Structure 1
Amino acid sequence: MSHVESSYDVVVIGGGHNGLICANYLQRAGLSVCVFESRLEAGGGLCTEETTIPGFLHNLASVFHDAVEIMPAMKDLELARYGIEYVKPEVQLGLALREGRPFLQYDTVEKTCRAIERRSHADAVAWNAMAEGYDEYFRTLIMPALYAPPPKPSEQALALEETEQGRGFLRMVRATPLDVACDGFVDEATRAALLFQLLVPRGVVYDSAGLGMMIPLVVTGIEQSHLAKGGSHHLAHALWRALISAKGKLRGTLRVSEIVIEGGRAAGVVLETGERVKATKAVVSAIDIEQTFLDLVAEKHLPATFRKTVASHKPDEFSLFGVHVALREPPRYRGAALEPDLDRACKVGVGFESTADFHELFADVRLGRLPERPRLFACCPTLFDHSQAPPERHTAFCWAIAPYHLKDGGADAWDQHAAAFAKRCLDAWREVAPNMGGDNILAMRTLSPRDIPRKLENMREGGVFGGRMTQDQLDAFRPLPELSDYRTPIKGLYLAGASQHPGGGILGACGAIAAEAVAEDLRIHPWWS
């Protein structure tokens, strides 16, 4: 069957938020851009579905949008005009402990310190001191760096050496999050609350060498959880509306099967339908690097050593097991008797009570064992946005940190263990919220680590962060040193996925920086600067 070849200046592979942001910037720079998305609804992890009962909306991947107050695309693309609205819960975090007073973190340092004071005077003082010491530093230096190409390691160190805060930051770069949490705070619940918040949405494990500097980021509260009204897919809708308004194109349910290379340069794509699409100036891949180089680029166009290096890229260290429920009433936590605000916390940690819990959990994950006692991230979005469920009804979910590959049976073994593990998760949730069972649960849907790449194939091995967040895959080494500037060994082929600096989560940085790289090479003025 013959196909008429269509042509654009830029073709973007993948309609997740990074691909859509990149496309929006380039379309507004005067280029003709088309995004190809394999799923029916663009947005990647921004997927909201009625997966239990009609009228009950469940966010199956992305939920906590912590960077919307600092994300340049929100203002640059005027996304509020295209329908996206957010709510920021006052109570950002609660740890539901089996005994004793819960830990609470609020949307301001002052309110958080008042809550910590009720547990530990020493930690309240230490929290306030760390926040005051690093707030301006993070706002003026660290956060803007998320939206710029990563500097060389030596350049970063030289800049940090100039100030007291910078030298303190360098010291934390040599420590683990556990080291910094234990050095700075005495209460086990405070330490657990800090380490808990690094896992989701940041993908940072408690004992990762060189990532201790993430602790002040949590303490300052510069990044705060926001929930998209109407569900996370409303951000995707705003992005594609903005693109269409700018005369860009988005074509769904069309899978790219090949990146066309002509004369050593990316010249377009071939779709699974057989249609060829020409890209006269650039092809931008907003999917993972494994699909890009091992599946879509023919082997003859890349050195064997490069393909081997791509294949060695380390996936996320852990995955998430999701239990999504339709409810008659929201979770009611036992700990609310001591701290009533626990019942209106955005994120609730279950089973994260001390540093020992992290040791135990990751001992299981690293050996591929199903945790006997699941540790959960719980959230009830309808406490803050009633539009996601029918009147006087609610939706909620819990994520359990879990391995992708099980010791016995590998990833496919999740299919036989999912139902039993979901029950184990609900049992753990009910231990601290007794109403999370019985006729309060109207319906349930699970999403196991194995189900994640079945639904969103860009999330390889059930990883939602685009690759392991360790020092050898961060900054100038993310995802690989030779790919860290968003360019590739093939001229005209660029990368914009979560594999790039600064990583996963709804930051919008990977798409924005990729657009800047394309504009620079084409000598187009980046209007957004």
Structure 2
Amino acid sequence: MAETYDGIIIGSGQHGLIVGTYMARLGLKVAVLERRNMFGGGLSTIEPGPPGFYQNPHSINHFNITESPWFKDLNLGKTVRYVTPRYEFAQPHLDGTSLVISRDAEETIASIGQVSRKDAETFRDWNRRADAISNMVFLAERYSEPLAGDLRNELLSRTSVGRDFLEIIEHQPLDLIKELFENERVQLLMLFKLSLFGTVLYDSVTQKSPMGSAVRGFDLSAGYQVCVGGSWNLARGLHERFIQAGGEFINHAEVSRIVVDGGRATGVELSDGREFTARQFVASTIDVPQTFKDLVGEEQLPAEYRTKVENFKQTAWTLFGVHLALKDAPSYVGAEFNPNINHALKYNVGAETMEDLFGLHAEVAAGRIPGSSRTRV
């Protein structure tokens, strides 16, 4: 006999646990179903090598997370601690120089000024514009329901900051960076920062950016944070809140089908034959193809929605990470030039010129290991 809940959530990553906690706090009977043994999804922290060396294999840092409404609503700061790195991006060079982007604008301007005073003043002006956009546009949109493009643009055009944003996004990021900055290494660092918000670099910087990626090279008011003790601690905190709210976590629960009756999702079936009924909703936190093609079935979808599912595309490449267990923290080339380089969160290494950077990304796009053509043994 099927177990009945008000709501069923597939997947126990952060999205599933957040939604589940809010629904449980409203008094609904909610179950989160997880295929694996442990909750958390991409919020994973493991100890695969020497004892005491913990690694985050996927979710390494979290953007502006302690300011998120749900983080505050769920009082996660009481049990989940974050640090905010002062130095976010760094770029060492073989000649012993380096560039460092700090959350402090004056430190960043001083670092850029070591290689180009003109570029430093350019960054000062664009940082002022970008921080205003980040605070008034990006953060507001991040926590609001998406708007249709025409309505969004009409609302943005009503304020000076909004109009500035609309003007900036008409530029291709690559053209903008090359137009603004004279020093190639400054251009390189700005493009590296921008590339983290896109896909293959060439695609992300040679097209217009309606969502505003061009602005991301300059804003400092919001940035990355790192969970103390590993990213899984955020999952732990969310799971605690979910259970405290009355939610039920069920592991080893691999969903094989979302049951649809009369155009409405009414429950799920598991691969082991168990069934769960949902009075009010079924929510899936797994990807679009698995949810709608494998679990729901395209034949159950309206024609217009079926087209959207068919047109959905995954990113064509994946990140390759190297995890090291080191006795001491790395000491980078360029530390004598700027000691802050040894304390940054993200490093652009392996590319000394724009040609190097685009060449590495082109190799990724072609399915080759980047840098392999230059390797000498």
Normalised to the residue count of structure 1, the TM-score between the two structures is 0.67
Match of 1:313 in 2: 312
Confirm or deny that 1:76 pairs with 2:85: no
Confirm or deny that 1:23 pairs with 2:20: yes
Pairwise CA RMSD: 2.3
CA gap of 1:222–1:318, structure 2 versus 1, over 3 A, is: farther
Matched-pair contact (CA < 8 Å) for 2:96–2:336:
no
1:54 to 46, 51, 54: 51
Matched-pair contact (CA < 8 Å) for 1:96–1:102:
yes
Which aligned pairs between 1:45-444 and structure 2 lie closer than 5 A?
Answer: 45-81=42-78, 83-200=79-196, 203=199, 205=201, 206-211=204-209, 213-302=212-301, 306-307=305-306, 309-372=308-371
Larger RCO, structure (CA 8 Å, separation 6 or more): 2
**Cα distance in 2 between the residues matched to 1:237 and 1:23:** 14
Shift of residue 342, structure 1, vs aligned partner: 1.0
**Aligned amino acid, residue 83 of structure 2:** V
**Cα distance in 2 between the residues matched to 1:72 and 1:203:** 28
Identity over the aligned pairs, expressed in percent? 33
**Cα distance in 1 between the residues matched to 2:131 and 2:302:** 45
**Cα distance in 1 between the residues matched to 2:69 and 2:352:** 36
CA gap of 1:226–1:296, structure 2 versus 1, over 3 A, is: same
**Cα distance in 2 between the residues matched to 1:160 and 1:372:** 43
Shift of residue 203, structure 1, vs aligned partner: 4.7
Shift of residue 50, structure 1, vs aligned partner: 0.6
**Aligned amino acid, residue 324 of structure 1:** H
Q: Give the match's secondary structure for 1:149.
A: coil
**Cα distance in 2 between the residues matched to 1:202 and 1:76:** 30
**Cα distance in 1 between the residues matched to 2:25 and 2:243:** 11
**Cα distance in 2 between the residues matched to 1:204 and 1:66:** 21
**Cα distance in 1 between the residues matched to 2:95 and 2:372:** 16
CA gap of 1:373–1:117, structure 2 versus 1, over 3 A, is: farther
For structure 2, list consecutive stretches of 5 or more residues without a partner in the other structure: none
Matched-pair contact (CA < 8 Å) for 1:95–1:353:
no
Matched-pair contact (CA < 8 Å) for 1:52–1:325:
no
**Aligned amino acid, residue 210 of structure 1:** K
Q: Give the match's secondary structure for 1:226.
A: strand
**Aligned amino acid, residue 62 of structure 2:** H
CA gap of 1:357–1:253, structure 2 versus 1, over 3 A, is: farther
For structure 1, list consecutive stretches of 5 or more residues without a partner in the other structure: 375-420, 428-529
**Aligned amino acid, residue 176 of structure 2:** V
**Cα distance in 1 between the residues matched to 2:144 and 2:295:** 27
1:471-505 CA-to-partner distances (Å, cap 9, x unmatched) read xxxxxxxxxxxxxxxxxxxxxxxxxxxxxxxxxxx
Shift of residue 100, structure 1, vs aligned partner: 4.2
Which aligned pairs between 1:502-517 and structure 2 lie closer than 5 A?
Answer: none
Match of 1:395 in 2: none
Confirm or deny that 1:40 pairs with 2:37: yes
**Cα distance in 2 between the residues matched to 1:162 and 1:118:** 39
**Cα distance in 2 between the residues matched to 1:184 and 1:127:** 9
Aligned positions, number: 374
**Cα distance in 2 between the residues matched to 1:198 and 1:38:** 35
**Cα distance in 2 between the residues matched to 1:118 and 1:314:** 43
**Cα distance in 2 between the residues matched to 1:326 and 1:241:** 30
1:385-414 CA-to-partner distances (Å, cap 9, x unmatched) read xxxxxxxxxxxxxxxxxxxxxxxxxxxxxx
Shift of residue 66, structure 1, vs aligned partner: 1.7
1:286-340 CA-to-partner distances (Å, cap 9, x unmatched) read 1111000111013432357754542331111431111111112221112112111
Which of 134-143 and 319-328 deviates more?
134-143
1:53-91 CA-to-partner distances (Å, cap 9, x unmatched) read 23210100011112214311110111123x210111222
Shift of residue 285, structure 1, vs aligned partner: 0.8
Matched-pair contact (CA < 8 Å) for 1:43–1:236:
yes
Matched-pair contact (CA < 8 Å) for 2:172–2:214:
no
Q: Give the match's secondary structure for 1:319.
A: coil
Matched-pair contact (CA < 8 Å) for 1:268–1:277:
yes
Which of 129-138 and 305-314 deviates more?
305-314
**Cα distance in 2 between the residues matched to 1:78 and 1:251:** 24
CA gap of 1:175–1:301, structure 2 versus 1, over 3 A, is: same
**Aligned amino acid, residue 292 of structure 2:** F
**Cα distance in 1 between the residues matched to 2:84 and 2:199:** 21
